[in-house]
Structure 1
Amino acid sequence: MSEPATAYISAAAIQNNVEAVRQRIPPGTPICVAVKANAYGHGVEQVLPALARAGVERLAVANLDEATDLRARGWTRPVLCLGPIFACKSEHERAENAAEAVAGGIAVTITSPAEAHMLATAAKRQHRLGHVEIQVDTGMGRCGVRCDKALDVIAQTALLPDIRIDGVYMHFATADEDDLTFARNQLQAFKQLIAQIAGAKLSVGSFHAANSAAVFRLPESHLDLVRPGLCIYGYWGGPASQRPPELRPAMRLVSRLTEVRHLPAGASVGYGCTWKTTRDSLIGTVSLGYADGYRRLLGNKAVVTLEKAGRDPSRHIPVVGRVSMDQINVDLTDAGPIAVGDAILVIDDIPSARNSVESLAEIVGSIPYEITTLIGSRVRRVSAP
Structure 2
Amino acid sequence: MNHFSTQYQQQRAWVNINHQALVDNVQALKSFLNPHTQLMAVIKADAYGHGAVKVAQTILQSGVDSLAIATLPEGIELREAGILAPIMILGAINSIEQIKDIVKYNLEPTLCTPHQAFIFGETLAQLNATLSVHLKLDTGMSRLGTHWHNGIDFVNYIQQFPQLHISSIYSHLATADDVDTTVMKLQHSRFEEVISALKATGVDIPRLHLANSAGTLCDRTLHYDMVRVGLALYGIYPAPHLHDTIKLQPALEVKARITQIKTLSPGTGVSYGHTFKCDQATKIAVVGIGYADGIPRLLSNKMKVIIRGKFADQIGNITMDQLMLNITDFPDLEVEETVTLLGKEGDLEITADDWANSIGTISWEILCSFKHRLPRVVIENS
Same fold (TM over 0.5): yes
Distance 1:204 1:69 in 2: 31
Q: CA deviation at 1:23?
A: 1.5
Aligned amino acid, residue 110 of structure 1 = L
Distance 2:114 2:144 in 1: 16
Change in Cα spacing, 1:362 to 1:273, as seen in structure 2 (3 Å) is same
Q: CA deviation at 1:69?
A: 1.3
Aligned amino acid, residue 43 of structure 2 = V
- Please name the residue that 1:145 is paired with: 146
Distance 1:184 1:325 in 2: 44
- Please name the residue that 1:285 is paired with: 286
Determine if the alignment matches structure 1 residue 262 to structure 2 residue 263.
yes
- Please name the residue that 1:37 is paired with: 45
Change in Cα spacing, 1:172 to 1:320, as seen in structure 2 (3 Å) is same
Q: Is the 8 A contact 2:169 2:206 kept in 1?
A: yes
CA RMSD in angstroms, aligned pairs only: 1.9
Q: CA deviation at 1:214?
A: 1.0
Q: CA deviation at 1:332?
A: 0.8
Distance 2:35 2:92 in 1: 32
Further displaced range: 173-182 or 118-127: 118-127
Change in Cα spacing, 1:234 to 1:199, as seen in structure 2 (3 Å) is same
Aligned amino acid, residue 373 of structure 1 = C
Q: Is the 8 A contact 1:85 1:98 kept in 2?
A: yes
- Please name the residue that 2:312 is paired with: 317
Aligned amino acid, residue 176 of structure 2 = A
Q: CA deviation at 1:263?
A: 1.1
Deviations 1:322-360 (CA, angstroms, capped at 9, x unpaired): 010110100111124211000110111479956211101
Indicate which of 27, 32, 48 corresponds to 1:24: 32
Q: CA deviation at 1:190?
A: 0.3
Change in Cα spacing, 1:252 to 1:353, as seen in structure 2 (3 Å) is same
Once the two structures are superposed, the pairs formed by residues 201-240 of structure 1 within 5 Å of their partners are 201-239=202-240
- Please name the residue that 2:301 is paired with: 300
Deviations 1:14-65 (CA, angstroms, capped at 9, x unpaired): 1111111112111232111111111011111331221122121111111111
Alignment TM-score, normalising by the size of structure 2: 0.93
Change in Cα spacing, 1:55 to 1:354, as seen in structure 2 (3 Å) is closer
- Please name the residue that 2:133 is paired with: 132
- Please name the residue that 1:199 is paired with: 200
Q: Is the 8 A contact 1:102 1:131 kept in 2?
A: no
Q: CA deviation at 1:241?
A: 6.5
Aligned amino acid, residue 275 of structure 1 = F
Further displaced range: 242-251 or 139-148: 242-251
Q: CA deviation at 1:240?
A: 5.8
Determine if the alignment matches structure 1 residue 59 to structure 2 residue 72.
no
Q: Is the 8 A contact 2:13 2:256 kept in 1?
A: yes
Alignment TM-score, normalising by the size of structure 1: 0.92
- Please name the residue that 1:346 is paired with: 341
Distance 1:201 1:159 in 2: 15
- Please name the residue that 1:381 is paired with: 376
- Please name the residue that 2:160 is paired with: 159
Distance 2:348 2:242 in 1: 15
SS in 2 for 1:83: strand
Distance 1:333 1:211 in 2: 45
Once the two structures are superposed, the pairs formed by residues 98-113 of structure 1 within 5 Å of their partners are 98-113=99-114
Structure 2: runs of 5+ lacking an equivalent: 1-6
Change in Cα spacing, 1:239 to 1:188, as seen in structure 2 (3 Å) is same
Q: CA deviation at 1:205?
A: 2.1
Distance 2:16 2:143 in 1: 34
SS in 1 for 2:91: coil
Indicate which of 321, 326, 329 corresponds to 1:331: 326
Distance 2:63 2:36 in 1: 11
Distance 1:240 1:296 in 2: 28
Change in Cα spacing, 1:198 to 1:336, as seen in structure 2 (3 Å) is farther
Distance 2:346 2:339 in 1: 17
Structure 1: runs of 5+ lacking an equivalent: 87-93
Distance 1:289 1:273 in 2: 17
Q: CA deviation at 1:230?
A: 0.2
Deviations 1:125-158 (CA, angstroms, capped at 9, x unpaired): 4443212111111111112110011110111101
SS in 2 for 1:132: strand
